[in-house]
Chain A
């Protein structure tokens, strides 16, 4: 198989149980030290709040949702540093597995433009949903799931439901 062959990449991925064990132990370590789990979407809320504050401080202060995120330095926010770590860890993983490359990944019959358009739409939905649910798949499904939070398990169920509901409509994008 050539290096660019998707099948050869598939072999380079770890067993899902080994990768899951690694993530589970990382999550356990985070709880052991910090008393809370891992997150992701909160970093974007920090970014949004701090950018808005820089551009238009009055408007940021008047926003009832974002004003709670204006205190403290952006660079001293736990979740911001964690997400920078996630970026570095992902980069390290891709580089050491030799699968780092610039690409817009999509199905063989999907156009670049439509893929980017759908990525933007999907991203807006994920961003909105994660503020509504007070967390995303990391903060709710993973971290909340591990401490058996009722709402987090409900979140996990409706997350999969939502994915299956819409998947057939965008099949061409991926398959």
Chain B
């Protein structure tokens, strides 16, 4: 079976919505278990008290990245077909800055 499944038409696009629900539930569940339902925990990193946000985020990025590289290396996923966000340096730098400000103020 060649992934990504939906772009490769191995799986009907209509089933994509069921995938959205399931991956969304998993995402929400793990975020809650990490303590990310709490804005005080989410902002604690900015006061050098609790670096859970950094740890969770980078663990997730490294796990997904390593998984994609391994699956790509053994020919189980076509890395060329993955959606990679386009690069717009100034909008992304400014957007990140504004979100960071808003996150520390709003808590999420």
- Chain A residues in the interface with B (C-beta under 8 A): 9-10, 13-14, 16-17, 19-38, 76, 78-79, 81-94, 97, 99, 105-107, 118-137, 139-152, 154-167, 170-171, 173-175
Whether A133 lies near B95 (C-beta < 8 A) is: yes
**In the complex the two chains form, is B92's CB within 8 Å of A152's CB?**
yes
Extra 9 A-B pairs, beta carbons < 8 Å, given A123-B106, A149-B85, A151-B87: A20-B63, A24-B61, A27-B60, A35-B4, A85-B24, A87-B24, A122-B108, A126-B98, A146-B61
Partner of B40, one of A99, A149, A174: A174
Number of A-B contacts (CB under 8 A): 367
In order of increasing CB-CB distance, the 4 nearest A-B pairs are A122-B106, A85-B24, A162-B100, A133-B95
Which residues of A have CB within 8 Å of B107? 105, 118-119, 122, 173-174
Tell me what chain B mostly uses at the interface: helix, strand, loop, or mixed. helix
Contact yes or no, B26 A89, CB < 8 A = yes
Query: Interface residues, chain B, CB within 8 Å of chain A?
Result: 3-7, 11, 16-17, 19-35, 37-41, 43-47, 51-52, 55-65, 67-68, 71, 77, 81-89, 91-108
Task: Tell me the interface secondary structure of chain A in the complex.
Answer: helix
